[in-house]
Amino acid sequence: MNDNILFQIMIFLLSAMIMVPIAKRLGLGSVLGYLIAGILIGPAVLDVTGVESHQLLEIAELGVVMMLFIIGLDLEPSHIWNMRKMIFGLGGLQLLLTAALTGLLLFLAGENWPQAVVLGLITSCSSTALGVQYLNEKRLNHTPAGERAFSVLIFQDIMVIPILAVLPLLKNVQTEQAASDASLVFPNTLPAFQHGLLVIGSIALVILFGRFGIRAVFKIIARTKLREMFTVTALLIIVAIALLMHLIGLSPALGALLAGIVLANSEYRHELEGAIDPFKSLLLGLFFMAVGAAIDFDFIGTKPFLMAFLVAIMILSKFSVLVVLGRSFGLKIRDNLIFSIALCQGGEFGFVLLSFSLHEGILNKEVTDIAMAVTAISMSITPILLALNERFVLPHLISKEKPNDKPSDVQQEQNQIIIAGYGSFGNTLGRFLNANKVNTTVLDFNPDNVDLLRRVGLKVYYGDATRYELLEIAGASTARMIVVAMGDAKTRLQVIDVVKKHFPNLKILCRASNKYDAFDILETGVTDIYRQTIDTSLRLGKDILKSLNHRHDLVERSAEAFFNYDEMVVRQLSYLRHSAGYIEAARQTLLELEFIMDEKVQDAFKDSNHRERHIG
């Protein structure tokens, strides 16, 4: 029955449906849930996949390709250029130092030098899928840790081409007979010069097609007004690019990344993201399950101490290099830990490079099997390390870490209001208060933003409001209230925690992006919450009603009633958000809202008629 395709699909979906929610509930993240699901259905436990793990990995790698395409869509070429120092500086140093350190350790452990260099290059690559998935789940993409991690991953993706070019030069003569297995790609029969021209020509073709051809194709497809055809075309383009890159011996994900970057300014960008995202998420989950299923526990059991030693070398050497580089590139302790742990494992490109090395006779089968097992184990361990770091280490670093490389320039202030975070939200508030002769102390942790605002003429200090000593200097002991206005929800909660611990008499007024952020803030005990979406949404709603010739006074009263009721409902639902009764309670509030709005409109009519009769 294992050979039945429907049975296999059911097994994969069922295992993911069971394990991923459990892992999320335990705070371990979805990646570890997929890995555990793969281990359970793989040969190590139930052995019900009905397909070879390496075949499954080849299929699931399409999820990584789609992920890189979507990442490329979010990367405008100008943004890549602005990040060039981080990508080529931090990324280049990470790859070079990690490869050198890992290779040296393997050489000292008894490997011959060509294999040590090859394995050092291969293990220097981290998991783009795992790193990006974790940063997305924790909303850390735009934090210092997220930006630096992304820079390193981008450089590793770019370097797949040079690594593939270098690996054959390190071929070990003792393993050359393995090359007779024949590679799967046709350029291996070509001279090196012609192969190089083919690679350059293929990359140029992808860029030119992305710049000119894809727009024309999607313009034609858009005229059909068939959404499913847009999805089919997007998938066809990605699969075709992946196939082209595979045929010329390069990383399919790199080709997808290039195509995505070229399309970053396209008018079809958001439509493409919407069409591909469901497939990307599903195939990424399949990829992680394939990694779990690929772990050969029988093989590991024959060499347990060797495997433990090699996994330790990979994780510790990469972690050590990343910690040093992260600190050198301005990361604080907690950001540096997130950055270093998120990238300390082997990556999906490692499987590709190991398979390539085996086919080319660069590594023998025993070494390749060991390296693949080590890579899979390191990817499985990383989510556990991230969960342990998040739960037991980071909470103790909120107010204990050393200042950033750029010292804070906050001066002793005695203003009654402190604004922490001076983006668009805090900026509007600050300008309004200053216009009404209310002085404020403003803190912002973005040095570029601080420099810009100072040139404009605003008095803004550079500083991290999660540090209690900085808040002390800013006058938190004597101020009346602090407005927590950062854009990052996690940072807002950290500031609230510090203020409640060290400045209990300071009133906290907090920005929230939406009602779910409001739920998190309410759980801290803060009740003065200002959702940035509700006022703008209501103002838009009022304008729509007025344009439909609704009476202006009734519209204003209706909006006021809606706002008051919604504020009350958010507080009520916050107590039920984790319970089974949340959905029913939310449904009941909708019914109550309709009744209350009808009642308010009727009252408004009565008051209006009464005033008209009184005037008459």
Whether residues 517 and 540 share a domain: the answer is no
The answer to whether position 403 is within a domain reads no
Nearest to residue 139, comparing CAs of 532, 517, 607?
517
Average pLDDT over residues 341-348: 87
Whether residues 221 and 248 share a domain: the answer is yes
Of 396, 426, 441, the domain-final residue: 396
Per-residue pLDDT tens digits for 236-277: 887 888 788 777 766 676 677 777 777 766 666 666 777 777
pLDDT score of 185 more than 60: no
Whether residues 315 and 360 share a domain: the answer is yes
The confidence score (pLDDT) of residue 361 equals: 76
What is the Cα Rg of the chain in Å? Answer: 28
Whether residues 87 and 48 share a domain: the answer is yes
**What stretch of H or E contains 365?**
helix 365-388
The answer to whether position 402 is within a domain reads no
Whether residues 54 and 76 share a domain: the answer is yes
The number of angstroms, rounded, from the C-alpha of 476 to the middle of its chain's C-alpha atoms is: 34
The answer to whether position 209 is within a domain reads yes
Which pLDDT band holds residue 456 (cuts at 50, 70, 90)? low
Which pLDDT band holds residue 47 (cuts at 50, 70, 90)? confident
The burial of 495, by beta-carbon neighbours within 10 Å (0-12 exposed, 13-18 middle, 19 or more buried), is given as buried
- Domain CATH code at residue 370: 1.20.1530.20
Whether residues 279 and 355 share a domain: the answer is yes
Whether residues 442 and 547 share a domain: the answer is no
Of 506, 532, 558, the domain-final residue: 532
**Using CA atoms, how far apart are residues 153 and 347, in angstroms rounded to an integer?**
10
Distance, first Cα to last Cα, the chain: 86
Q: Which of 11-20, 95-104, 216-225, 475-484 is predicted least confidently?
A: 216-225
The confidence score (pLDDT) of residue 459 equals: 67
Average pLDDT over residues 409-435: 76
The answer to whether position 319 is within a domain reads yes
Of 482, 515, 532, the domain-final residue: 532
The answer to whether position 20 is within a domain reads yes
Which pLDDT band holds residue 291 (cuts at 50, 70, 90)? confident
The confidence score (pLDDT) of residue 322 equals: 94
Per-residue pLDDT tens digits for 358-393: 766 788 878 888 888 888 888 888 888 888 888 888
Indicate the average pLDDT of the chain: 76
- The rounded percent of the chain whose pLDDT value lies above 70 is 77
The answer to whether position 404 is within a domain reads no
The answer to whether position 42 is within a domain reads yes
The answer to whether position 370 is within a domain reads yes
The confidence score (pLDDT) of residue 315 equals: 92
User: Which domain does 488 fall in, by range?
Assistant: 409-532
pLDDT score of 527 more than 50: yes
Give the best-scoring range by mean pLDDT among 294-303, 429-438, 474-483.
Answer: 474-483
Whether residues 479 and 342 share a domain: the answer is no
The confidence score (pLDDT) of residue 182 equals: 40
Whether residues 501 and 606 share a domain: the answer is no
Whether residues 18 and 106 share a domain: the answer is yes
The confidence score (pLDDT) of residue 341 equals: 92
Count structural domains, the chain: 3
Residue type, position 243, single letter: L
Average pLDDT over residues 450-456: 71
φ and ψ at residue 525, rounded to 5 degrees: 100, -5
The confidence score (pLDDT) of residue 318 equals: 93
Q: Which of 105-109, 247-251, 519-523 is predicted least confidently?
A: 247-251
Which pLDDT band holds residue 98 (cuts at 50, 70, 90)? very high
Report in angstroms the alpha-carbon separations of 343 from 35, 314, 340, 365.
17, 11, 6, 27
Give the best-scoring range by mean pLDDT among 2-6, 24-28, 220-224, 608-612.
Answer: 220-224
Whether residues 460 and 609 share a domain: the answer is no
Structure tokens at 402: 């050393």
Whether residues 332 and 469 share a domain: the answer is no
The strands making up 507-512's β-sheet, listed across from edge to edge, are: 461-462, 440-444, 417-420, 481-484, 507-512, 528-531
Is the whole-model pTM more than 0.75?
A: no
